[in-house]
Amino acid sequence: MADTQNTPEDPQEPVIRDKRRIDPETGDVREPAAAAAEETPDSSADGSADPDAPAADDALSADDQALLDQAAQDLVADMRSDMLRAQAELVNFRTRVERDRVANREAVIAEVLRSLLPAIDDLSRAEAHGDLVEGSPLAIVAQKLRTAFEKYGLKSVGEKGEPFDPAFHEAVVQLPTPDATSNTIADVIEPGYVLGDRLIRAAKVAVSVPSE
């Protein structure tokens, strides 16, 4: 009878991985991908999932994505509104600066011209008395001054026969006149001047008023 002796099962042989960079048989340098493939076991072999793969619960729902899209659109709209508001404020600032610059320039010119008006008055009185002979040095100076004033837009106001306007005329004398139907300039004592819309000096006039 044969001897039936129980023998233990052969133990599983150990797995030996060659991690050497140089292939001992060929002497070639192994590719990193090949070495990694040898070192890393295939996770699909035992059915385990990739731990870095996102879970299904982490995925954004359609409602969440819609909320994010709406928030992004609102942010863009707010930024555009702020940009347009800043542009409008810049335009208004430039307009104010230009308006103030023009106003300051006109104020300076008006002050200079106002200081020279007494000289013009003296020349006008001399001309009225016949002291300015045509072609004389004094007449030439008077003409140059008047031309320079006109260049800056200075205009005289107050003419005999015009309706009296308290915005431009100063009534020095009132003359009751039987045939007068309204206040009218009867005589100009001292002419007035305006620079654009700015009154430099009101004209001093005698006014004919209706007699009672």
Backbone Cα Rg of the chain = 52
pLDDT of 139 > 70? The answer is yes
SS3 state of residue 201: strand
Tell me the pTM. Answer: 0.53
Average the pLDDT over each of 25-29, 79-83, 109-113, 140-144 and give the range with the smallest value: 25-29
Residues 120 and 141: their CA atoms lie apart, in Å, by 10
pLDDT of residue 35: 46
Gap between the Cα atoms of 198 and 106, Å rounded: 9
Spatial distance between the Cα atoms of 17 and 133, rounded to a whole number of angstroms: 126
**CA pair distance 72, 64, nearest whole angstrom:** 12
Find tokens 């620079």 and name the residue: 195
Higher pLDDT, 1 or 52: 52
- What digits encode the pLDDT tens for the residues 187-210? 999 999 998 888 999 999 999 998
Please count the other Cβ atoms lying within 10 Å of the Cβ belonging to residue 164: 21
pLDDT digits (tens, 9 = 90+) for 67-119: 888 888 889 988 999 999 999 999 999 999 998 998 888 888 888 888 989 98
What does the alpha-carbon distance between residue 74 and residue 67 come to, in Å, rounded to a whole number? Answer: 10
Q: What is the pLDDT of residue 94?
A: 92
